[in-house]
Structure 1
Amino acid sequence: MPHSEEYVRKAVESAILELISADSLLLDANCSERSITHQLATHLSKHFTGYHVDCEYNRDGFEVKKLQLDERTVRADRLDAITVFPDIIVHVRGTSDANLLVVEVKKASSSVNNSYDIAKLQAFKTQLLYDFAVHVVIGYKRDGSFVNRQSWQ
């Protein structure tokens, strides 16, 4: 069931291209990030048989998924674990032994800084032992140019 880094990267790239081709209206109309991530998850699921591909899944086994991570709206010195809702994960539900991929998606039109998403992805890898993590920026920027960028963590 494990996949190589090359396979995972190619699968993500392929799923994104499938999204751009099959669901371009979501990007053209600047639909919500949730709409985009749902469809991306659908395309990812074709590449990861034997795994579950879930959006905003917040369980670690049967417990609420938490990370030692600063919230965006709290003091920088806060060290409490916070509940997290990753945009997309590829995993096997009910176990923490098969955490394959975590994906954070940002629309290219967003003015929100990516630093929190990047910190969250790195925490998923170090604290919840996900094998791979990628930050995807996709869609049209405010100037009308199209962006399709992946940043692997």
Structure 2
Amino acid sequence: MRNILSINPIGEKVFQALEKFLEHDSFLLEIDANERSLTHRVAIYLQELFPELDVDCEYNRDNHDPKELLIPGGDPDTYDTDAQTVYPDIIIHKRKTNKNLLVLEFKKTSSRVSDKKDFMKLREYQRQLGYKHALFIEFGVGYGNEGISRVEWISP
């Protein structure tokens, strides 16, 4: 994991946050806790490493408007006819600006949902919303499997 994350200074900070998460919160992986519980803890550690920016979980605003993506082949709900309101797992950005540094999507190995849409969303966060970096991280869950099982940088 360190090799792929150490590609740049941002990845190195993500690595440090994940190490801290594993050191202090691996029990959450062991018991297969809700993904939101896991990402919340990671976000706390990221905020310590990016004090000049805002680290938010499932933040859906672009200034005052909802953050939306046009997802090819997406299924918008009845109130969202032109795009899909998006709730990225974690973003590192500066609120009320266009400074969008990093978007992270997480998945657990226990998930039965394909990660295909996660990768598509990450590419669209970069293309449509200007995120400089996008990262997919998979948590290994369950007793004896707890850890980070996969990390992938996403190219726009």
**TM-score class normalised by the smaller sequence:** 0.7 to 0.9
The count of corresponding residues between Structure 1 and Structure 2 is: 143
Residue 87 of structure 1 corresponds to 89
User: Superposition RMSD on alpha carbons, in Å?
Assistant: 1.9
For normalisation by structure 2, the TM-score amounts to 0.84
Tell me how far apart the structure 1 counterparts of residues 60 and 9 of structure 2 sit (CA, whole Å): 26
Determine what percentage of the aligned residue pairs are the same residue. 39
Pair 1:112–1:21, CA change in 2 (3 A)? same
Pair 1:71–1:144, CA change in 2 (3 A)? farther
Which residues of structure 2 form unaligned runs of 5+?
1-6
Q: What is the deviation of 1:144?
A: 5.0
Tell me how far apart the structure 1 counterparts of residues 13 and 85 of structure 2 sit (CA, whole Å): 28
* Structure showing greater relative contact order (alpha-carbon pairs closer than 8 Å, 6 or more residues apart): 2
Matches for 1:63-82 after TM superposition, within 5 Å: 63-70=65-72, 73=75, 80-82=82-84
For the 8 Å contact 2:26–2:147, the answer to whether it is kept is no
For the 8 Å contact 1:55–1:86, the answer to whether it is kept is yes
For normalisation by structure 1, the TM-score amounts to 0.86
Specify the code of the residue in structure 2 equivalent to 1:133: A
Out of 64, 67, 70, which is 1:62 matched to?
A: 64
Residue 145 of structure 1 corresponds to 145
Out of 9, 16, 20, which is 1:7 matched to?
A: 9
- Structure 1 residue ranges, 4+ long, deviating more than 2 angstroms after superposition: 70-74, 143-147
